[in-house]
Structure 1
Amino acid sequence: MHAPSPTLADDLAELETIEDFLAYFGIPYERSVVQINRLHILQRFHDYLRSADEPPVYEQWHERLARAYDDYLNSDAITQGVFRVFKRARGISTVQLSDIGRAPR
């Protein structure tokens, strides 16, 4: 076991898996939910952190990770549609700003 790190960033740098993150933040989880949705949960967590106005501290990281996990607890990857492939499947696409106003090729 490592000695406690002086900062949250130091602690987080040591975490490698979604299970590590959930354990670090003390969030109980169902193994089957994590096994099926691990990348989706991490992406949603990242999206929640990116949308924050302030630099997250432990409490905000905890809340956002719990929220990301909860999104998949009673849902699935297709419904949540975090990744572009799922958005395209639902008919949602993005247009690059540089393409707006250009004549079609």
Structure 2
Amino acid sequence: MCLCSADSSPIDVKDILNRLKGLSAAEEFFELLGVPYDPKVLDVSRLHIMKRMGQYLAAEDFSDLPDQVIAARACAILERAYGDFATSAPLKHRVFKVLKDHDPDRAVTPGRAFVPLESFLMPFEKE
């Protein structure tokens, strides 16, 4: 058993990475790791929080670590990812490519802002 934070109840750490891989809903990650969350924040930023958590997890090396250490790190990572979006809007962090590509503070490259439909449609040719 492991505590994510001082006010959390103990969590089962056995085979934690495989159990995390089997989850699909954001709420399941918070429940498994014992991380408290505000449903209103999660409703607005769930995809952003999970994407950021994935980015943070990808930067970790869990090789040869005991499940208890992995669970503690995963818990801290989820808390960190949640914290990124608990106090600021998802647009501030721009974790998804479409948001990065459409940064209103970045100047638009001339000639790339508009693509006319005719430029990529080709007439159907008979075989």
Query: 2:42 is matched with which residue: 29, 34, 38?
Result: 34
SS at structure 2 position matched to 1:27: coil
Structure 2: segments with no counterpart, 5+ residues: 1-11, 108-127
Give the % identical residues: 28
CA contact 2:13–2:71 (8 Å) conserved in 1? no
The two structures have a TM-score, normalised by structure 1, of 0.74
CA contact 1:41–1:68 (8 Å) conserved in 2? yes
Q: Which residue of 2 aligns with 1:101?
A: none
With a CA cutoff of 8 Å and minimum separation of 6, indicate the structure with the bigger relative contact order. Answer: 2
Q: How does 1:52-71 map to 2 (within 5 A)?
A: 52=60, 54-55=61-62, 57-71=70-84
Tell me, in whole angstroms, the C-alpha distance in 1 between the residues paired with 2:75 and 2:38: 17
- Tell me which structure has the larger Cα radius of gyration: 2
Structure 1: segments with no counterpart, 5+ residues: 93-105
Higher helix share: 1
Tell me, in whole angstroms, the C-alpha distance in 2 between the residues paired with 1:6 and 1:70: 26
Tell me, in whole angstroms, the C-alpha distance in 1 between the residues paired with 2:99 and 2:24: 25
Is residue 2:15 matched to residue 1:7?
Answer: yes
Q: Which residue of 2 aligns with 1:97?
A: none
Q: Which residue of 2 aligns with 1:82?
A: 95
What's the RMSD between the two structures over aligned residues? Answer: 2.1
The two structures have a TM-score, normalised by structure 2, of 0.62
